[in-house]
Amino acid sequence: MMKKILLIICLSTFAMLAKAQVNDTSANNDPNKVWIKVDRVPQFPGGFVHLMDYLTTNMKYPDEAKKNGISGKVFVAFVVEKDGSLTDIKVIKSVSPELDEEAVRLMKESPKWQPGSAEGVPCRVRYSLPVNFELSR
């Protein structure tokens, strides 16, 4: 019986702490907060298929990378702002300076995304994306 009471007390305390944390991280508390976990993730206009189409259509494979047979995935991270624009674009996994630069350029020239939201409110969201550079054979 004592174990049940102790378990109920622990669960109640945990539930109160979890509720306090949810309320403390309200999207309305800090308009400049960058979210990682959100209710609705940011999305490229038209979705993933259109993102892949945008990348392949607009990619300019650097001549130096072609000449040296360099390929791979450059991982970029950025913040999708409340208005859908991309800011704080940086390479988090590099392949080569030429490919890194092209991946950043693609993100800088990207159309505005549909912003993410937390608790039903548009918010700034950190997002990462692999940009695949593959040489034709």
**pLDDT tens digits, 15-27:** 333 333 333 445 4
Q: Which domain holds residue 60?
A: 31-133
- For residue 96, pLDDT over 50 is answered with yes
Q: Do 66 and 91 reside in the same domain of the chain?
A: yes
Identify the pLDDT of residue 28: 52
Per DSSP bridges, beta strands 72-80 and 86-93 are antiparallel
Residue 132 CB contacts under 8 Å (≥ 6 apart), including other chains: 55, 72, 73
Check whether residue 23 and residue 84 sit in a common domain.
Answer: no
Tell me: do 1 and 65 sit in the same domain: no
C-alpha span between 97 and 112 (Å, rounded): 26
pLDDT digits (tens, 9 = 90+) for 29-69: 688 899 989 999 999 999 999 999 999 999 999 999 999 99
Q: Does 56 lie in the same domain as 38?
A: yes
- pLDDT above 60 for 7: no
86 shares its domain with 99: yes
Query: In the predicted model, what is the mean pLDDT of the chain?
Result: 84
pTM of the model: 0.77
